[in-house]
Amino acid sequence: MQKLDSGKCPKIIRWELHNQCNLSCPHCRHHALDKRKSDNYPEFYKTKHEFDEEQILKVIKEVAPYKPSFTLNVANEPTIGRHFEYTVRKIKEYGMNGTFNTNGLKLTPQIAELLADIAWDSVTVSVDATTPESLMKARGIPFLDIVHKAVFNLIEARGNRKFPRIGVTFVDCDYNHNEIEPFLEFWKKHVDFIRTTGYIQDLVPDIEKIGGDHTRQEMPAERLPCKQIFSDMVLRANGDVTRCVITSESPNLDDTVLGNVFEEGGVLNVWKNVEFERIRGFHNSGSCNSLDYCNSCDYWIETLDMKEEVTEDFLIREPSAYTKFYNVRSKLDNWQRNKVYDRQGLIVDCLLD
Ligand code: SF4
Ligand code: SF4
């Protein structure tokens, strides 16, 4: 059976610098209004948590020798954090790469200029719609022009420079599915790539419920270890590390916490702690069906090789049924085939045999 190796340090650190958001998107698994009002809204979100500059620098210095890639999101809007600028500057200063996704509301010309000045690797703006009506359903706001402005702020600030690589994202839902084609048509003229993702329903990634015509037939007959727990660390704003990006959505956040970087002396200690290794052991021995959450999740299909296709306009990469990257062929000068930052690079060194 195929086995995976986690190495000494995560390849990707999904880092929640703080746990707040300036929107309440109806489809948000964390901050939607109905979630905020429900009885099991986690205490974690009711309280503001935020890394301070000393803690941020400690994380960056600790992992810098291993050159992981940072994704500055979990369940938050990164640009509204007090230490956002400090963090992106330090990540680049220490020679690492990073990306983040933003709802764009606070992506001002000043932030865009900063990102271009430090040659930040990649930014995606959640657009999700071609009409104000669809945007209202996706984000709870109708201001498509404001979201577009964020993208054009980035394009303008970058000018003739190479970075950041700029993308827009689209979560495929029933109400906007028929907008995917016009969305691609419009944005291919402006951005470097477009990412579409299936909408994962609460805590149960199910390939047959993510939009499109995916079926369970696409899943391999034999369960594979999930790449997520061998390549990615999900670091929450209070220092907790959860099993993966899917379980970070648990309403009882504590039940999938594997450790805490403040209490256990850093990222590397948690990455190799007993609990993380125990969970990986289940996956590498083919027995993860006995693990809560993993037993009802098929997100592990990401472990399969990604598909690649070239069309007239795009170099399309499909890491799994859940995600598709449409790289605009005329805008590949800032794209590297094997680079991990925007999650379409190859992480081959996870593979043991
Ligand atoms: S912008 Fe993102 S984190 Fe914020 S509410 Fe919307 S989906 Fe959730
Ligand atoms: S199988 Fe699903 S729940 Fe388990 S580690 Fe992978 S993504 Fe997370």
Phi-psi region of 34 (alpha: psi -120 to 50; beta: other; left: phi over 0): alpha
- pLDDT (mean) for 66-94: 96
Q: What is the pLDDT of residues 186-243, one digit of tens each?
A: 999 999 999 998 877 666 777 777 666 777 777 788 889 999 999 999 999 999 999 9
Sort strands 307-310 and 314-320 into parallel, antiparallel or unpaired. antiparallel
Distance, in Å, from the CA atom of 186 to the CA atom of 260, rounded to the nearest integer, reads 44
pLDDT tens digits for range 263-294:
999 999 999 999 999 999 999 999 988 898 89
- pLDDT for 32: 86
CB of 48 within 8 A of CB of 20? yes
From the alpha carbon of 73, which atom of ligand 1 is closest? Answer: 3
Average pLDDT score over the chain: 91
User: What's the CA-to-centroid distance between 32 and ligand 2, angstroms?
Assistant: 23
CA distance 267 to 260: 8
Band the pLDDT of 95: cuts 50, 70, 90: very high
> Is residue 231 lining ligand 2, measured as CB closer than 6 Å?
no
Q: What spacing in Å lies between the alpha carbon of 28 and ligand 1's midpoint? A: 5
Asked if residue 252 has pLDDT above 60, the reply is yes
Burial class from Cβ neighbours inside 10 Å (0-12, 13-18, 19+) for residue 124 reads buried
Residue 353, pLDDT score? 41
The pTM of the full predicted model, rounded to 2 decimals, is 0.94
Give the Cβ contact number of residue 273 at 10 Å: 15
| Nearest atom in ligand 1 to 27's CA | 7
300 lines ligand 2 (CB under 6 A): yes
The predicted-structure confidence for 96-105, as pLDDT tens digits, reads as follows 999 999 999 9
pLDDT, position 350: 56
Q: Is the CB of 294 under 6 A from ligand 2?
A: yes
Mean pLDDT throughout 7-36?
Answer: 90
3-state secondary structure of 181: helix
